[in-house]
Amino acid sequence: MDTPQRSPRWLVPAVVILLALALVVAGFGIAKMLASPETPAAAPATPSSPSGPTGGALSSGDSLFPTIGNRGYDVQHYQIELDYHRDGSINAVTTITANAPAALTSFGLDLKGLEVTAISTDGRPAGWTRDDHKLRVIPAGPVHGSFSTKVVYAGKPTSLTDPNGMREGWLVTEDGATVMAQPMGAMTWFPNNNTPADKATFEITVHVPNGLEVAGSGDLLDQRDSATTSTWVWQQRNPIATYLAMISIGQYEVYKSTMTLTDGRELPLWSFIDPSVGISPAIAERLPKIIRNLESYFGPYPQSSSGIVFDRLEIGYSLETQNRPVITFDDGDWLLYHELAHQWFGDSLTVGDWGDIWLNEGFATYTEFVMPADSVGSDRGDARYYSLLNAASKDSEYWSPPPAPITDPKYLFSQKVVYNRSALTLWALRRQVGAKTFAKIVKTWTSRHRDSVVTTEQFTQLAEELSGKDLDAFFKAWLYTAGQPAQTHR
């Protein structure tokens, strides 16, 4: 879901005016021409008139990835039904329930590749145009308030290559495919509003040939087999960002168990391990202790289930997909701590703009300062702070550019700037305000903004509110300024 903070102040009165005008226009029965659903529609790329219903903007305005996401509506729910075939192709239908505060004559979705064969809005055939990954839907008449859009599509999904050279999205494996979609890859397998600022619930139904299993994010609602087909239904009841929605199709050993959380809740665990990677299923048994330790650092576990997907993927990273991270190598518990920490930072509290990525990776890397000593194999606490600072003092790449905000997408996953400098920032804050106050800040942060979209400014304001200190100079040096903060030189 969007938070009001994401909207520029001028937008609110503008929306009210447009809403009023749209009602007047609707009263006169004026509607846009319906384009044929079979052929791409010819429609103006800009709003038809400044005084009537308009076309929704084809960008969410993200500072790092301005071509993804769209404006003019807020998605509530994605219903995805997908048939996966042995040759790697899919047939799918995605139904999107959304809300448009002002009438829209057209609106954008993001879908890369794949052939669209039909679109309808509120049950009536709609037209559309396509330009690279931008799918512009032109409904039979303006949509306003709650509306639904059904997109029927098919083809062989492919992956994307990011500005930093990493592959993401729909990743083909030896026996199926795995979705790892940070930051833009959600559009490789379903049409969506591809911005982390627009969180929504999901229900994903996948039909696969018998003999394959389907992992997903959320909770396993149903699993049934027919003579030829196996069907898996995954339900996500908390609103999530599209990049965190995951399915993984393949031959898996499925491990189901439960654990007791710190507050007594029973949490289902589903893990999917590809037996061909030769890893012991005992990796899934390491999760309960790690999750309980993370609860002691960050507050109650914010999701309705957990687990991992372990698969053979030659991509060089693991990813914190919602509920169950996709792990591609076993490097000890630190990796599980890192990806599971993202269930709080990134998955429950989601940055609405990718420039604020330090809020995700800083906290996930911070776990290396506090996890049990046998998990990380090096110093903890202040010792880790000083050993990292020692290394960083000799390397200017840790200090430039500053992490808040990142302005060049190639730094999105920068180990030095985004991961380590941000974790050092959090440890320095803890030293500044004291461990007890820091714990209060973190646990208030995760409870106050649970399932929401967050900004750097909200975090720095909360730190000042709960510490009672003026931290402007601290955050200016640690977050907003290139160069090593002066007080860290020894």
Residues at the contact surface with Zn ion, assessed by CB under 5 A: 361, 364
Closest contact distance (angstroms) between CB of 262 and Zn ion is: 23
Closest contact distance (angstroms) between CB of 339 and Zn ion is: 7
> Which one, 214 or 364, has the nearer CB to Zn ion?
364
Please tell me whether residue 424 adopts helix, strand or coil conformation.
helix
Beta bridge partners of 326: 309, 319
> Which one, 168 or 361, has the nearer CB to Zn ion?
361
CB 30 within 8 A of CB 52: yes
Write down how long the chain is.
490
Q: Which residue has its beta carbon closest to Zn ion?
A: 364
Closest contact distance (angstroms) between CB of 490 and Zn ion is: 29
Residue 431, φ and ψ in degrees, nearest 5: -65, -35
> Which one, 242 or 360, has the nearer CB to Zn ion?
360
Closest contact distance (angstroms) between CB of 412 and Zn ion is: 11
> Which one, 109 or 364, has the nearer CB to Zn ion?
364
Closest contact distance (angstroms) between CB of 52 and Zn ion is: 45
> Which one, 188 or 420, has the nearer CB to Zn ion?
420
Closest contact distance (angstroms) between CB of 326 and Zn ion is: 12
Closest contact distance (angstroms) between CB of 364 and Zn ion is: 4
> Which one, 53 or 196, has the nearer CB to Zn ion?
196
> Which one, 204 or 364, has the nearer CB to Zn ion?
364
Q: Could you tell me the CA-to-CA distances from 137 to 26, 71, 126, 130, 155 in Å, in that order?
A: 19, 13, 7, 9, 20
3-state secondary structure 364-379: HHHHHHHCCHHHHCCC
Q: Tokens at residue 372, please?
A: 């049990």
Q: Name the H helices within 313-434.
A: 333-341, 358-370, 373-376, 381-393, 422-433
Which residues neighbour 383 within 8 Å (Cβ) at sequence distance 6 or greater?
none
CA distance linking residue 86 with residue 160, whole number of Å: 22
Closest contact distance (angstroms) between CB of 309 and Zn ion is: 16
> Which one, 62 or 361, has the nearer CB to Zn ion?
361
CA distance linking residue 106 with residue 126, whole number of Å: 10
Closest contact distance (angstroms) between CB of 117 and Zn ion is: 37
CA atoms within 13 A on the CB side of 6: 24
CA distance linking residue 155 with residue 116, whole number of Å: 9
Stretch (H or E) spanning 98: strand 90-110
CA distance linking residue 14 with residue 171, whole number of Å: 42
> Which one, 110 or 361, has the nearer CB to Zn ion?
361
